[in-house]
Amino acid sequence: MTILQVENLSKDFGGLRVLENITFSLAAGSVVGLIGPNGAGKSTLVNLIAGADRPTGGEILFASRRLAGLPAWRVARLGLARTFQITRVFTDLSLGDNIRLAAWTRGLRGKGLEAEVRRLADLTELSDKIAKPSRDLTLADQKRLQLARALALKPKLLLLDEVMAGLNPSELDRAIQLLAKLRNEGITMLVIEHLMRVIMNISDRVLVLHQGSLIADGPPAEVVASSQVQEAYLGRRYVQNR
């Protein structure tokens, strides 16, 4: 079953074409990696799907529902959650209140609300910092908080824009385990990540974006082996990194 269908999606910024005729779909329950060099248009694609920005052309269908024109908050309430590459936490609220607000917006109240906040803080290993003002969190913790806050929406589809950047190797392992756990809960994920080790580890499928176009779409091993992808992306520093 397809949960997300993107058809001929394009985006211009001024005269600049940043995304060109992007077409792909996500099967419900799958984990799909989205890779591509800096400036390829990955974050722009996430913004379009999440309703934070309007496409210049094309269609987005989420659970067979057209998303075009819906404001971001409606898209979120349909069960499509996202994180931001440059962390955006509610700095005037404590860590717990960040999560609580999202769960409350979803409709949880009273004991159920508190239990959910605790569960998500545990899941993201933030329990001991629940009362901390979120402005005082480290970058890694802000990334975790963004994930917890997105999960508080009980999403069917999660768009993760470099949630693991800046984590150390052991944190990275735990993050990978966490994503595996989320997949077991049936959450579909589109994961943007520069670290090939992560992408190879968690993805059922990999999409490669290069200068605004999708240049590859397939199983991780196949995509990595593709000469076009090697040239566009992997041939440079990333292959050496990992």
Footprint of Mg ion on this chain (CB under 5 A)? 42-43, 85
Is the Cβ–Cβ distance between 33 and 193 less than 8 Å?
yes
Query: Where in 82-101 is the site for another protein (CB under 8 A)?
Result: 82, 84, 88-98, 100-101
| Shortest distance (Å) from residue 50 CB to Mg ion | 13
| Contacts to ligand ATP by CB under 6 A | 13, 18, 36, 38-44, 85
Strand-pairing partners, residue 188, are: 157
Between 41 and 58, whose beta carbon lies closer to ligand ATP?
41
Task: Report what 92 binds from ligand ATP, another protein, Mg ion, none; CB cut-off 5-8 Å by kind.
Answer: another protein
Task: Report what 13 binds from ligand ATP, another protein, Mg ion, none; CB cut-off 5-8 Å by kind.
Answer: ligand ATP
Task: Report what 88 binds from ligand ATP, another protein, Mg ion, none; CB cut-off 5-8 Å by kind.
Answer: another protein
Handedness of CA 70, 44, 26, 177 (dihedral sign): negative
- Look up residue 106 and give its amino acid: R
Task: Report what 44 binds from Mg ion, another protein, ligand ATP, none; CB cut-off 5-8 Å by kind.
Answer: ligand ATP
Stretch that binds another protein, among 11-19, 149-157, 177-185, 192-200 (CB under 8 A): 149-157
The four Cα atoms 192, 138, 97, 185 give a dihedral, to 10 degrees, of 40
Between 183 and 197, whose beta carbon lies closer to ligand ATP?
197
Query: Where in 35-64 is the site for another protein (CB under 8 A)?
Result: 50-52
Helices 139-151 and 95-106: crossing angle in degrees, nearest 10, is 20
Question: Residue 140: in which H helix or E strand, if any?
Answer: helix 139-151
Between 1 and 86, whose beta carbon lies closer to Mg ion?
86
Is the Cβ–Cβ distance between 91 and 116 less than 8 Å?
no
Closest of 165, 175, 198 to residue 86, by C-alpha: 165
Is the Cβ–Cβ distance between 19 and 54 less than 8 Å?
no
How many Å from the N-terminal Cα to the C-terminal Cα in the chain? Answer: 33
Handedness of CA 186, 151, 137, 143 (dihedral sign): positive
Task: Report what 200 binds from another protein, ligand ATP, Mg ion, none; CB cut-off 5-8 Å by kind.
Answer: none
Binding mask 112-141 for another protein (x = CB under 8 A): -------------------xxx-xx-----
Closest of 188, 143, 177 to residue 163, by C-alpha: 143
Q: Which residue is nearest to Mg ion (CB)?
A: 43
**Contacts with another protein, residue ranges (CB under 8 A):** 50-52, 71-73, 76-77, 81-82, 84, 88-98, 100-102, 104-106, 131-133, 135-136, 149-150, 152-153
